[in-house]
Structure 1
């Protein structure tokens, strides 16, 4: 990196720096409390940097910086440069779907209420966003009884004025019909302003006004008018019921939560105004560097609020983790709102409970995003080809198997095998293994690969029949699919027997680095299998390791290929740890019966199968225990006295 600044030339002041490529394009913008300390970290130890940062530095050809006076100025300049240059290596949040808003076009001569998506327009007031457009229309339909604002398009409005006859909404009193002069422009604008005030949370005065008018109408014996006012009040109350009360009245807050994995993050925001949830919105982001939750929150707050109007900003921003410069961020938001804004992490109470709800929504949003991304055929094809190119495969790996080992301090060691075909999970062919070796993860991977491919060779040589597992055990025979396929996996239509390991993968992935990949390759070599490619995927830096290589293959962090490998690895980890927990739970249950004299493994399993748990067995009587096959009156008495802490 010949562009490294000379020692001592970088100031120690706060500031913002830019990396540029050979063509002068800005590829990364960052800020720092101390420019010297931050920039020197890029040039100290290249091998210790995050892979994405390494890629950025090898792409860069120059770096410059601007000194500022305060951290707030650094935040402002960083955001303005990111917006101006759109650097490829900076984090970019994007909507996880198109969210509709309720919009009132106050800039028009006759304001219109409508559903809007996309970029916001000047002179229009927005409420929301909402999850579904139908939710907006239901609310508007209720409010038009009280605030009959125009909702028609410009063409319909103009034509009604030309023919002198309003549309249907004008006849049923859900529009004040300014098109035919029933109300003046000023009266119609006043209706629109009242509509906006009600949506902004100033609801009490309208309901009190209508109640007063209803009582006056009833006192004057104008019962039809009083009944209509009563219906108007009920319509406003139903509109309010659609917005759940979650916090104290007068609370204005944006509640932000994160859900993340090594490659992506999802952000969900609940907008609370007047103590009620007024809207919800989500974003997703590809991680371009290793970022803490606080750093992701800081970047999100800058992008979300940097250009927000003061009336759209809350008094309080609740976040899952404080930004590294949270005081500077709070000061910047305060300047933007022109009033105090607090940024804090809720610790207890209703706000903490609401934060947990938003977190669940963020996790669901990330899961749905992954499903949508995985279901895209074009994306899956691109991912498989990227994997083939990165690993030097002759063709795209249409069948990928991934293996992971799970244990707790060397006890209850298990392994999982998950299968992805054409980029999608094939759960009917998942397998799980009870590992026999106690010599560590590398030895466990070798054992599992040997067992899996030995079975494959036997099944292949059996020409359609499932051969006996030579040298295997009863545990091997019990290996089967889970996830809704029963204990024995798919059935061979010719033999009627379970087919467990009939197909070899194009690519074998192990959860781990070089040693794990080498162990898998060694197992294949010992079995004489040379048509299966092997790689390992290390968790810490998402590095791809090939057997025998001293250096990993670094795939771009935003590549679809790495995303698919990560999904396969994460699924193998989930499947392995689920099996491990079930075995550990079973071991704990059986251990509670170890002290019962005369009770062997078969009787212990029969008792647990009959009662379901040790707790229910402890509550049973001797007569009820005798109902279990193989348990007589004498042993039943021993079981009861032992479990209740009495001497037999």
Structure 2
């Protein structure tokens, strides 16, 4: 049921393409959509509501305000819609689950490039491959490539290195740091890594065969044998990638299987008639949504962050905005990209394989959730939403704690739970900078302030994802300090609670009486897990700081050892234990360590 205010806003909407934002009574964005004609599209939500699906009816019931952006074209509206969805992550939009944290492979720029795993995609800063969903498989690919094409993995300043490290002795690095390989040959190896990752291994094999022949002609049999082994390893990879498909060329094949409010999406990557990889993704918020809408949402969100775009994408269902998506994808690739549903032949057989993999993948995912207790986590989140009167279950919970000894070496921790499970990739640590003495309240205020200052400064970065719930380890005092920090940064609309350890009482801002949950309550157990994890993480950081201080203090007690010599000794021997184990002769060889000082070090330690 609409309000006069909403009716008037709809009447004022322009008859042009653009993006509309729907907000709830708290002013939070709960849905972002695009439209060819803004007024007509938004009006459709509020007319004939009896024909709307359940999810859309719930959305309409919550709408209290509208905002819009006019764009010059449908393609501009699509791009803006994708950016706003990524930034605000509205509750009613179909979302690519945890899309900010998928790993990529990156060839770094510069004279001596490296192949590394990264979770940050920055246009123009190197060559990217991905995204991938399984970080373990990505690291396995890196290890395979290092065995076939050795490359440097360190980030050292190569001009300062005096001798090759153990990686060179193991045959995993060609040691450009000491001139063991010239830049031209090293770059050739990097170029072959790129071809390998693109699925063009046959071209790499041809290049290596030519190099092997040339090495044999020069009677450099050791290099020829090494190249022969590389060729054998690559041919094993090629054999494994040749699946039972007669599809030619370069394409991606996408299919999904739906389970309630989630959809399991499977993508096969075909390059040169070979399956070079497959990845699965989870979409949230797909309940009651037509297949065309699910496909459209996935294509937009996935390919906005994909490092490579093929000229052809096979689908089971075409998106409703096919032309707009094709134009946008083509502009990103630089040449035409076509979306199509195959009707016959090898491509249709491939799609059947992808669809079957999606169905099997969904079954495995549901079984895994059952065995790992994911349903218990969901029950805990739903209970929290009821108990704390939240609009929806808190998918992202951030827990905070402080650790110090009478104000010394004070540190703070931030842990993140996604869907009721710890996500250590998003954990953060803070060294307290502004609070003298033992003032836990002020320390908590500093930590929360620094975290949410970063959130307002980096809306699209790793700090930009805001929590659905903040958990403070402590009672009214710590909670009040955190709330004050949020208000100072205009982020006090984020739900926040304190959990006091003595009676496991939950404190809410503005409420004098705490909430106490039953001991067997799933919500209580989840909050305890978040609180305990924040405490563990903070204590670990604090212990590490104490150990480092203790290391410095041990050496500082030796006359003649100042900060510079202490740093030199630790750098050379790795630790105080290493210095203690060093011989008199080894100590005497260190620059600045005389024979007399070496004897004093041995006696003192």
Q: What range describes the TM-score normalised by the shorter chain of this pair?
A: 0.5 to 0.7
Task: Tell me the residue number matched to 2:75.
Answer: 72
Deviation of 1:275 (Å)? 2.4
Q: What count of residue pairs does the alignment treat as equivalent?
A: 384
Deviation of 1:237 (Å)? 1.5
Task: Tell me the residue number matched to 1:278.
Answer: 276
Q: Does 1:251 align with 2:253?
A: no
C-alpha offsets along residues 412-431 of structure 1, whole Å, 9 cap, x if unaligned? xxxxxxxxxxxxxxxxxxxx
Within 1, Cα distance between the matches of 2:20 and 2:315?
A: 27
Which of 28, 31, 36 is the aligned partner of 1:28? 31
Which of 158, 163, 181 is the aligned partner of 1:165? 163
C-alpha offsets along residues 570-595 of structure 1, whole Å, 9 cap, x if unaligned? xxxxxxxxxxxxxxxxxxxxxxxxxx
C-alpha offsets along residues 307-343 of structure 1, whole Å, 9 cap, x if unaligned? 445xx11111111100112112111111121110000
Within 1, Cα distance between the matches of 2:45 and 2:230?
A: 65
Task: Tell me the residue number matched to 2:112.
Answer: 110
Deviation of 1:95 (Å)? 5.1
Contact 2:162 2:178 survives alignment (8 Å): yes
Which of 51, 54, 71 is the aligned partner of 2:54? 51
Deviation of 1:251 (Å)? 1.6
Task: Tell me the residue number matched to 1:119.
Answer: 120
Equivalent positions of 1:164-203 (< 5 A) are: 164-185=162-183, 187-203=185-201
The change in CA–CA distance for 1:335 and 1:224 in structure 2 (over 3 A counts) is closer
Which of 328, 333, 340 is the aligned partner of 1:332? 328
C-alpha offsets along residues 445-499 of structure 1, whole Å, 9 cap, x if unaligned? xxxxxxxxxxxxxxxxxxxxxxxxxxxxxxxxxxxxxxxxxxxxxxxxxxxxxxx
Equivalent positions of 1:213-612 (< 5 A) are: 213-218=211-216, 223-245=221-243, 251-287=249-285, 290-309=288-307, 312-377=308-373, 379-380=375-376, 383=379
Within 1, Cα distance between the matches of 2:385 and 2:226?
A: 71
Within 2, Cα distance between the matches of 1:34 and 1:133?
A: 42
The change in CA–CA distance for 1:336 and 1:128 in structure 2 (over 3 A counts) is closer
Task: Tell me the residue number matched to 2:64.
Answer: 61
Q: Does 1:4 align with 2:6?
A: yes
The change in CA–CA distance for 1:229 and 1:90 in structure 2 (over 3 A counts) is closer
Within 2, Cα distance between the matches of 1:242 and 1:291?
A: 38
Within 2, Cα distance between the matches of 1:388 and 1:143?
A: 46
Deviation of 1:190 (Å)? 3.9
The change in CA–CA distance for 1:33 and 1:238 in structure 2 (over 3 A counts) is same
Q: Which has the larger radius of gyration?
A: 1
Contact 1:4 1:43 survives alignment (8 Å): no
Contiguous gaps of at least 5 residues in structure 1 = 391-559, 562-648
Within 2, Cα distance between the matches of 1:387 and 1:169?
A: 52
Contact 2:247 2:347 survives alignment (8 Å): no
Contact 2:15 2:38 survives alignment (8 Å): yes
C-alpha offsets along residues 200-239 of structure 1, whole Å, 9 cap, x if unaligned? 2343443223323444555566655544433332222223
Deviation of 1:8 (Å)? 5.5
Within 2, Cα distance between the matches of 1:117 and 1:98?
A: 9
The change in CA–CA distance for 1:233 and 1:283 in structure 2 (over 3 A counts) is closer
The change in CA–CA distance for 1:166 and 1:118 in structure 2 (over 3 A counts) is same
Within 1, Cα distance between the matches of 2:142 and 2:43?
A: 57
Contiguous gaps of at least 5 residues in structure 2 = 387-521, 524-605
Which of 188, 193, 210 is the aligned partner of 1:212? 210
Which TM-score applies when normalising by structure 2?
Answer: 0.56
Within 2, Cα distance between the matches of 1:5 and 1:277?
A: 53
The change in CA–CA distance for 1:246 and 1:169 in structure 2 (over 3 A counts) is farther
Within 2, Cα distance between the matches of 1:366 and 1:264?
A: 10
Deviation of 1:187 (Å)? 4.3
Which of 86, 91, 94 is the aligned partner of 1:91? 94
